[in-house]
Amino acid sequence: MNTHYFIALPIQPHLRKTLLEIQMKTRLALFKHIVYPEDFHITVAFLGVADEEQLTKLQEGLQKMAQFMEPFKLEVEGLNYFGLEDQPRVLYADVKRSDQLDKLHEDIVRICQLAGFSLKEREYSPHVTLAKKWHDPTKKIQLNWPTLNCECQEVSSVTLYQVAPGETPRYKGVATYEFTTK
């Protein structure tokens, strides 16, 4: 199996704890995959398979970008889903869009393209996945999820992750790029 990579914002411990509490209050047994709290993240770009040359160019680009990025705050509030309302494909915590997050996303997409990655073109929908892959097509869920009140987190870095199927946690940080402009 080929190794897959993605770039994401790590979730800070206080928010990770809140999201774990939400998971524990939700009927997640109807999903095939419940995300391990150490794997919570906000994907900025999914890269897929990468060769060494692409990874080298990507890491150089991310390092340069981080030197000019300023930390910013983002907000996570509310639960939502992808797929059918009563059989969601993905249950997630919603991340509010902001100018800083959109700019970071645009910069990273550009860096990925310059490094030779062809990314799927779709609207950026920042979120933190809590569970995915509906388990039983004969069962449906009642949408009585707990309330996720607004939680803030500072974004001061991005991380390049490698997917490690079958391991827990499933996502391994390859390199983290700290923002240096303050």
- The answer to whether 41 is a known catalytic residue is yes
Residue 162: φ, ψ to 5°: -115, 135
| Nearest in space to 22 (alpha carbons), one of 111, 128, 139 | 128
- DSSP H helices, the chain, are 13-24, 52-67, 99-114
Catalytic residue among 4, 14, 41, 105: 41
Identify the active-site residue in 14, 33, 105, 127: 127
DSSP 146: P
Tell me: cis bond preceding 169? Omega within 30 of 0 counts.
yes
Backbone angles phi, psi at 11, to 5 degrees: -95, 130
Q: Contact, 94 vs 41, CB < 8 A? A: no
Beta partners for residue 81, in sequence order: 91
105 classed as catalytic: no
Residues assigned a catalytic role? 41, 127
